[in-house]
Chain A
């Protein structure tokens, strides 16, 4: 079935986060890289919620505190200093990062603010040692053109990346702070995107502009998308951390599906006449019902001294098993909340109890214990009393929200494009000024200087590459995508190599080699230029390039000349070629006498098999033809 997203009133806004390739971090001079291996520094912290300058406490922040988490931070001395440890105030805002973000702002026709204020955005899940992320609006009110449509850019922010989570054991979360403080630029579009596919195209267009600055990081995890998605009658849901561009349209499709199904549940609950006051949130200790149960999960829980707590969900029979998106049932949404608020492993409900080995007698006894009829559902959870009742409170709250449709919340993207509950949506209350960094004035002169050096917009550059170098559009686009466009132009100007050879090598050849597992990223620009230089000087043939590249990536610090010597790919001189061809002709007398001039194709095959990379085929062909004609005449 084709979904008419326009009719559903789909609105999507993107928040694109891109790491910048600066020398230092945003507020200190640490190396903006990740470390591998064992940490040199370990420390333990707790974070508390605080009030904003407007005197409000953010509910999301308060909630994360309630969970009582402790955080273990890991660091090494190269990538972290006292600033990341929150043991020293931030240094001044990195001017290099500021210039890159302003450049991006200007390319997106945004208006830089007159004075930049660094803010603290409260995040107390531990991903920032301070308990807040430092962030600032650099420019507002821009727009980009995506396939003829004007997409407004609301904000361009410069902010510090967060620490990366590497594990969680009960009440302890582990983070590495190497990533903390790497400059990120955040591009926020207006909610004007109307289809899943359009969301992907807008993200792609933003990515191209970012990369055209040549000052952004490449590779997995260096660009992350958050999506704000809503449909008519649904709610604004923020989905965080989509790393793969190709996943964007899928995430949007699934979220629309989820919201539509939640609306179906709302309608069904209304039809069944469920009122909010019927959701009493009375919990029953039903441990005794399951003393002799054959359900493994419950048996184990009871033997560990946990209790089984139950709540009746009136009129919800059959709805908990309703599938919202592939693999996610409505009961799964309840379980997500229970896990988050109650720190329990999960929940069980009457729609699925039988499949877990609970007997019919136990189910009827359970229903009796909580006063549930056939039209009601019962949710049970096995844990310590506080955790279990927190979990069930969250379950009841989620059902209450279901009566009204779709709850506003922040969700996290799974690798398959589905999502899971992350936390309630944070409000503006979680922002307050970073008083350790003074405001920064952006002067007209500064902007003029940046404007004079703006990179060429990607679409214009593609057109220019095509017209100036005679390469086709596909090659031109690939050069930009792979960020070889500048190297391509430099090479063609410096080496007289044929533009199409250079472009095809940098794109198609390199891609093919990558697929074979060749580490192209080990190749330096100097080595690449040198390869084209020796091809242009006919020291070797263009056919040898893949072998040379492969050899160079395996022999660090070597030159392309070393490669052709080692691999025996030096060109055979014309004199030598002539005598070699004579030898081939001698060896193939029968063939020649049989096919006459028609033998040339077969001979070319035989000769080039041996001389591939050592002789230009055109030259071999010319000499062969001359010699053959000579022989046939004589």
Chain B
């Protein structure tokens, strides 16, 4: 007998078996007869969910018994009809059934829960839509706080704390001797010399060092020289360069650079650069200041802070010698340097003349 025939014969016999008429089952193959025996046993098989439903009911009853410590559980505590639960009751017992575990059905609670979830979901969706439609408004932006150098300017200019300097020299073999300074003025035409190289100039002009006229460096010596040295002689313009006196460079006197006196740069006296607010020097003012960009890593980390840059604002209004005085890291220092290099200033003024000054600039990085 082919397997197909066996299958067909088995199915026909099962049809008869399920109709309840066992006697009418025709004579069948031995294999079919064995399988039919199994099929007959399966007719009274319980529903698949009956076992779990009954367990659930028993657990409820057991819980009530243990919690109430009462007399034996009433046999009909749970009506028979409840055992056959609909699909909805199985899925949502807290709404459509008898509750879950020890929790009775409270539809109002269910409704409140649904409403609360719906409101929360709506808020989430609305915020998402708002963010999508206002992308430009919520974009992270960098705001540059204009550098306030006012705090670095003393209210009362200190007459003694002066800066600046200069130097010169004539590439002599010996250092310039001690001597008095020439006349101080803010504009120099002829640099001072100890040894005058041109005895008969076509247009004689009094030698000058660039220094505020009110500065007085006392010296009783008759000859010109460097008042900051204690070398007695011989006469020399010094080993520096720039046709003046000293070991520096420029048209001044001393070891510095420029037309001033001392170890500083650019004019004046006392070493260092002019400082705004000192000796009648005004503060430079930034007139072109592109904003720095945020570095990607700092933006990602939502890193904020302030960088202090130290720089020289030249007489031409350009920043030079920019150095980081207070670092912030995460690539922001480089971004600040990059931006400040492009800045342009209205230069600091002293007695109506633009002068180079050393200033500190704060660059603030903020995320909004």
Question: Do A and B originate from a single complex?
Answer: no
